[in-house]
């Protein structure tokens, strides 16, 4: 299974990525990312990405950084996922920041989920916006949706919960989302990352 926190980011989503003892490690990292398909082989695909990130973290980060703006959706997915596992240097974080504008909501979610866990509070409003999106995250087991991912990630790192997922009806949900926005506006100038607790303090 994917580690519980992807680079201190994925709060409650796990992916089908059971480690394989039969597949050789693929040193051609670019090919690995470019052939990634979460629908046809989620177990093998995520397992290979995990091994690449764990065994060759520098190469994995460099490869992913160069593909985060690829035309193919699955290639960008693999790149953002790997960066979430490996991002450390600022140029890697910058690549994740670029993914915050991706047209696919789940890639914005994964990028924001990674950055919020790296102490970047600028990811918080992105996750708040994603509370209104119900797209499924490909390859997630059990199936997880962008709004749930965003809600759980926000709560995990801020300790706040304004009831978005419990809200019934579009009006109630919009009101709960608005409370998140009001909260962030009120703490924007004082919120800080505490690396000791891996949480945000206000």
Which pLDDT value is given to residue 40? Answer: 80
Three-state secondary structure call for residue 193: strand
pLDDT of residue 2 exceeding 80, the answer is no
How confident is the model at residue 178, as a pLDDT?
96
Provide the whole-model pTM: 0.85
100-107 average pLDDT score? 97
SS3 (DSSP) at 136: strand
Angstrom distance (rounded) from CA 166 to CA 37: 33
Taking all residues of the chain, what is their mean pLDDT, rounded to a whole number?
86
Q: Which CATH architecture has domain 29-161?
A: Alpha Horseshoe (1.25)
Other CB atoms within 10 Å distance of the CB of residue 168: 7
Domain boundaries of the chain, sorted by first residue: 29-161
Confidence of residue 142 (pLDDT cuts 50, 70, 90): confident
Write down the pLDDT at residue 29: 72
pLDDT value of position 44: 79
pLDDT greater than 50 at residue 20: no
pLDDT at 27: 55
192-194 and 199-201 as β-strands: parallel, antiparallel, unpaired? antiparallel
The pLDDT of residue 187 is above 50: yes
Model confidence at 136: pLDDT above 50: yes
Tell whether the model's pLDDT for residue 8 goes beyond 60. no
Most confident of 22-26, 33-37, 100-104, 141-145: 100-104
DSSP-derived 3-state class of residue 199? strand
**pLDDT classification of 22: cutoffs 50, 70, 90:** very low
Segment 57-66 shows an average pLDDT of 92
Q: Which residue, chain included where needed, has tokens 């949900």?
A: 173
Listing DSSP states for 142-192 in one string gives S--BHHHHHHHHHHHHH-----TTT--SHHHHHHHHHHHHHHHHHHTTT-E
């Amino acid at each position: 299974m994917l580690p519980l926190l992807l680079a201190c980011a994925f709060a409650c989503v796990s992916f089908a990525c059971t480690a394989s003892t039969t597949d050789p490690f693929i040193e051609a990292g670019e090919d690995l990312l470019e052939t990634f398909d979460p629908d046809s082989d989620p177990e093998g695909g995520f397992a290979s990405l995990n091994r690449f990130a764990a065994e060759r973290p520098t190469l994995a980060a460099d490869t992913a950084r160069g593909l985060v703006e690829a035309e193919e959706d699955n290639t960008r997915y693999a790149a953002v996922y790997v960066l979430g596992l490996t991002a450390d240097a600022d140029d890697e974080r910058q690549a994740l920041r670029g993914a915050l504008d991706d047209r696919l909501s789940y890639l914005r979610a994964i990028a924001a989920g990674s950055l919020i866990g790296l102490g970047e509070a600028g990811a918080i409003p992105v996750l708040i916006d994603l509370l209104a999106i119900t797209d499924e995250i490909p390859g997630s087991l059990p199936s997880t949706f962008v709004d749930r991912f965003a809600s759980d990630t926000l709560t995990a790192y801020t300790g706040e919960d304004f009831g978005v997922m419990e809200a019934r009806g579009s009006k109630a949900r919009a009101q709960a989302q608005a409370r998140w926005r009001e909260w962030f506006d009120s703490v924007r100038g004082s919120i800080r990352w505490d690396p000791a607790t891996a949480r945000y303090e206000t």
